[in-house]
Structure 1
Amino acid sequence: MERFKRKLDQEEVDNLITETTEILSHCTNPHLDEAQSATNLVVGYVQSGKTMSFTTLSAMANDNGFRVIVYFAGTKTNLLTQTTKRLRKDLINNGANNQFYKLHENPSLEEVQRIRNELQISTKPTILITVLKHYKYINALADIFNSQQVKNVLKNNAVLIIDDEADQASLNGYAYKNSKKESLSEEWEEDEYTTTYRSILHLRNSIPNHSYIQYTATPQGPLLISILDLLSPKHHTVLTPGKQYTGGKTFFIDKPGLVLTIPDEQVYNSKKNPLTQCPKTLVDALQIHLMNVALVVCIFKKENYLSMMIHADKDQDASRTFYIWVKSLIDMWTEMINADENDLAKIELVESFRQIYPEVIREYDKSTDIIPSFEEILTQLPDVIFDTNIELIISSNKRQGDNKEVDWEGSPSHILVGAEMLNRGFTVENLAVTYMPRYSIGKSTADTIQQRCRFFGYKWNYLKSCRVYLPTDTCIEYAEYVEHEEEMRKWLKENTNLEAVEQLLIISPRLNATRKNILSINTVQTKLNGWRKMNAFQMIDENIRFVEQFITQTIFENDKDYGTTDRNHRFAKLPIQQVIEFLSNFKFSNMPDTARKQATMRYLKYLASKENSPLEHAYIIQMAYAGEARERAFDEQTMKLTTNLHSGAQFQVKRSILVMQKFVLKIRFVFNYIKLNLNVILSVGAGRSLIH
Structure 2
Amino acid sequence: MNEIYSHTHDVVRTYIVNRRRNNADWESILFEDNEAYTLDQFLDIKKMSGDFPNDVTKETFIQIVEEQKEEEQEAESIKVADEHTVMLSNTEENDVRVPTHPDSSWQLYKAKLQRNGFTDESIYNLEQSTLQILRKLNRNTSGMEPKKGLMVGHVQSGKTASMAALMAMAADWGWNYFVVLSGMIENLRSQTETRLWGDLNNGGNLNWKIIKNPSKQSENGQRLQDLHFKESSERYLTVALKNKGRLEGLNQWLAEDENKIKDLNMIIIDDEADQASINTKNVNSSERATINRLVVDLVEGTNRGTQPRSTNFISYTATPYSNFLNESTPESLYPSHFIGALPTAKEYFGPKEIFGLEEEGYDGMNIVRTIGDDEVDEVKEMQEGKKTNLPVSLKRSLAWFICSTASMRHPSINYKKPVSMLIHTSQLQAHHDEMANQIGSWFKNQSTKEIVTFCRKVYEEETAAFTPDDLKRSVPKYPKDASQLNDYPPFDEIKEEVTALIEHEVSHIMMGEEGDLQYHEGMHLCIDNCSKNGIIDDFHIRLSYPDPKDKNYPEKTPAFIIIGGSTLSRGLTIEGLVSTYFLRGPNASDTLMQMGRWFGYRKGYEVFPRVWMTGETQDKFSFLSNLEWELRRELEDFKASGKKPSEYGPRVKNSPKVSWLRITSANRMQSAQAVDLDFSGTSNQLIHYHKDPQILEHNLEVTEDFLKQCPEPYKSVFGTSIVFEQVDFNLIRDYLLKRMTFHERSTVFNHIDQFCEWFEKAEDEMKFKPWNVVVSGAGKVDVNDNSNWNIHGYHVGKVNRSAKRKDGDDEIREKMDHVNIGVLRAPGDLIADIPQDSIKEFKAEDKSLKDIGIKNISSLREKYGLDATPQLLIYRINKKSSPASEKHRAPLDLEVDPIGICLFVPGDRKKGAKAKALQIKIDPEQFYEPEE
Which TM-score bucket, shorter chain as reference?
0.5 to 0.7
Q: Which residue of 2 aligns with 1:461?
A: 604
Q: Which residue of 2 aligns with 1:23?
A: 133
For residue 458 of structure 2, the aligned residue among 348, 356, 360 is 356
Q: How does 1:668-679 map to 2 (within 5 A)?
A: none
How far apart are 1:361 and its partner, in Å?
1.4
Residue 147 of structure 1: SS of its match in structure 2? coil
1:318-364 Cα distance to aligned partner (Å, 9 max, x none): 2222222233445x28xx7xxxxxxxx33223222222221341212
Question: Is 1:415 equivalent to 2:515 in the alignment?
Answer: no
Q: Which residue of 2 aligns with 1:57?
A: 166
Cα distance in 1 between the residues matched to 2:295 and 2:200: 25
Q: Which residue of 2 aligns with 1:432?
A: 578
Q: Which residue of 2 aligns with 1:477?
A: 620
Question: Is 1:390 equivalent to 2:506 in the alignment?
Answer: no
How far apart are 1:499 and its partner, in Å?
4.8
Over 3 Å counting, the alpha-carbon distance change for 1:370 and 1:22 in structure 2 is: closer
Match for 1:314: what amino acid?
Q
Residue 505 of structure 1: SS of its match in structure 2? coil
Over 3 Å counting, the alpha-carbon distance change for 1:370 and 1:247 in structure 2 is: closer
Q: Which residue of 2 aligns with 1:158?
A: 265
Q: Greater Rg, structure 1 or structure 2? A: 2
Q: Are the aligned partners of 1:139 and 1:202 in contact in 2 as well (CA < 8 Å)?
A: no
Residue 110 of structure 1: SS of its match in structure 2? coil
Q: Are the aligned partners of 1:33 and 1:156 in contact in 2 as well (CA < 8 Å)?
A: no
Range 403-412 or range 237-246, more displaced: 403-412
Q: Are the aligned partners of 1:39 and 1:232 in contact in 2 as well (CA < 8 Å)?
A: yes
Q: Which residue of 2 aligns with 1:446?
A: 589
Alignment RMSD (CA, Å): 3.9
How far apart are 1:231 and its partner, in Å?
1.8
Over 3 Å counting, the alpha-carbon distance change for 1:195 and 1:255 in structure 2 is: same
Q: Which residue of 1 aligns with 2:856?
A: none
Match for 2:314: what amino acid?
I
Match for 1:214: what amino acid?
S
Q: Are the aligned partners of 1:27 and 1:211 in contact in 2 as well (CA < 8 Å)?
A: yes
Aligned length: 507
Q: How does 1:157-556 map to 2 (within 5 A)?
A: 157-171=264-278, 174=280, 194-204=289-299, 205=301, 206=304, 207-208=307-308, 209-220=310-321, 222-226=322-326, 228-229=328-329, 230-233=332-335, 234-253=337-356, 254-267=363-376, 274=384, 276-277=387-388, 278-301=390-413, 303-304=415-416, 305-330=418-443, 332=444, 345-362=447-464, 363-364=466-467, 371-385=488-502, 386=504, 387=521, 388-394=523-529, 396-399=531-534, 405-407=544-546, 409=548, 410=553, 411-438=557-584, 444-459=587-602, 461-496=604-639, 497=643, 499=645, 505=651, 512=656
How far apart are 1:279 and its partner, in Å?
2.3
How far apart are 1:196 and its partner, in Å?
0.4
Over 3 Å counting, the alpha-carbon distance change for 1:18 and 1:415 in structure 2 is: same
Cα distance in 2 between the residues matched to 1:516 and 1:468: 22
Q: Are the aligned partners of 1:266 and 1:437 in contact in 2 as well (CA < 8 Å)?
A: no
How far apart are 1:498 and its partner, in Å?
5.9
Range 457-466 or range 281-290, more displaced: 457-466
Residue 389 of structure 1: SS of its match in structure 2? strand
How far apart are 1:463 and its partner, in Å?
2.5
Larger relative CO (CA 8 A, sep 6+): 1 or 2? 1
Q: Are the aligned partners of 1:228 and 1:499 in contact in 2 as well (CA < 8 Å)?
A: no
Cα distance in 1 between the residues matched to 2:488 and 2:380: 41
Residue 632 of structure 2: SS of its match in structure 1? helix
Over 3 Å counting, the alpha-carbon distance change for 1:520 and 1:354 in structure 2 is: closer
Match for 1:319: what amino acid?
H
Residue 571 of structure 2: SS of its match in structure 1? coil
Match for 1:281: what amino acid?
S
Cα distance in 1 between the residues matched to 2:201 and 2:277: 28
Range 274-283 or range 156-165, more displaced: 274-283
Cα distance in 2 between the residues matched to 1:156 and 1:370: 56
Cα distance in 2 between the residues matched to 1:159 and 1:520: 31
Cα distance in 2 between the residues matched to 1:242 and 1:476: 25
Q: Are the aligned partners of 2:383 and 2:431 in contact in 1 as well (CA < 8 Å)?
A: no
Cα distance in 2 between the residues matched to 1:327 and 1:460: 30
1:405-435 Cα distance to aligned partner (Å, 9 max, x none): 4326445212211101101111112211111
Cα distance in 2 between the residues matched to 1:165 and 1:462: 27
Match for 1:306: what amino acid?
V
Over 3 Å counting, the alpha-carbon distance change for 1:361 and 1:518 in structure 2 is: closer
Structure 2 gaps, min length 5? 1-108, 357-362, 470-481, 505-520, 678-750, 759-925, 927-932
Q: Which residue of 1 aligns with 2:245?
A: 136
Residue 606 of structure 2: SS of its match in structure 1? helix
Cα distance in 1 between the residues matched to 2:312 and 2:496: 57
Match for 2:318: what amino acid?
A
Match for 2:160: what amino acid?
T
Cα distance in 1 between the residues matched to 2:134 and 2:663: 38
Cα distance in 1 between the residues matched to 2:284 and 2:381: 29
Q: TM-score, normalised by structure 1?
A: 0.66
Over 3 Å counting, the alpha-carbon distance change for 1:89 and 1:504 in structure 2 is: closer
Cα distance in 2 between the residues matched to 1:69 and 1:35: 19
Cα distance in 2 between the residues matched to 1:481 and 1:515: 15
Q: How does 1:47-86 map to 2 (within 5 A)?
A: 47-86=156-195
Q: Are the aligned partners of 1:252 and 1:479 in contact in 2 as well (CA < 8 Å)?
A: yes
Structure whose residues are more often helix by fraction = 1
Q: Are the aligned partners of 1:484 and 1:514 in contact in 2 as well (CA < 8 Å)?
A: no
For residue 3 of structure 1, the aligned residue among 101, 112, 124 is 112
Match for 2:319: what amino acid?
T
Match for 1:41: what amino acid?
L
Cα distance in 2 between the residues matched to 1:155 and 1:169: 29
Q: TM-score, normalised by structure 2?
A: 0.50
Q: Are the aligned partners of 2:383 and 2:435 in contact in 1 as well (CA < 8 Å)?
A: no
How far apart are 1:64 and its partner, in Å?
1.0
Residue 128 of structure 1: SS of its match in structure 2? strand
Q: Are the aligned partners of 2:527 and 2:541 in contact in 1 as well (CA < 8 Å)?
A: no
Question: Is 1:13 equivalent to 2:123 in the alignment?
Answer: yes
Cα distance in 2 between the residues matched to 1:350 and 1:61: 55
Over 3 Å counting, the alpha-carbon distance change for 1:377 and 1:402 in structure 2 is: closer
Cα distance in 1 between the residues matched to 2:616 and 2:495: 35
> How high is the sequence identity, in percent, across the aligned residues?
25
Residue 246 of structure 2: SS of its match in structure 1? helix
Cα distance in 2 between the residues matched to 1:142 and 1:488: 35
1:278-323 Cα distance to aligned partner (Å, 9 max, x none): 3222121111011101113334326323211111112222222222
How far apart are 1:13 and its partner, in Å?
1.1
